[in-house]
Amino acid sequence: MNRARLVEIGGGAILVLFGLAFGLGGLSYELGSFDDMGPGMFPLIVGLAIAAMGVPVVVMGLVAPIEKPREAEPGAARNSMRVLLLVSGGIFLFGLLIRSLGMFPAVIALALVVGLTERERRPLITVATAVSLAVIAWLIFTLGLGMNIPAFRWGF
Beta-carbon count within 10 A of 153 CB: 17
pLDDT tens-digit readout, 126-135? 899 999 999 9
pLDDT tens-digit readout, 19-68? 999 989 888 888 888 778 888 888 889 999 999 999 998 888 888 776 66
Determine the pLDDT at residue 79.
74
pLDDT surpassing 70 at residue 72: no
pLDDT surpassing 60 at residue 156: no
Contact, 90 vs 109, CB < 8 A? Answer: yes
Domain, as residue range, for 31? 3-63
Average pLDDT over residues 122-148: 88
Least confident of 14-18, 92-96, 101-105, 139-143: 139-143
**CA dist 21 to 26, 58, 142, Å?**
9, 17, 31
Determine the pLDDT at residue 74.
67
54 with 80, same domain: the answer is no
How many structural domains does the chain have?
2
More confident position, 1 or 44: 44
Domain for residue 156, yes or no? Answer: no
Determine the pLDDT at residue 69.
61
80 with 117, same domain: the answer is yes
93 with 52, same domain: the answer is no
Domain for residue 116, yes or no? Answer: yes
83 with 52, same domain: the answer is no
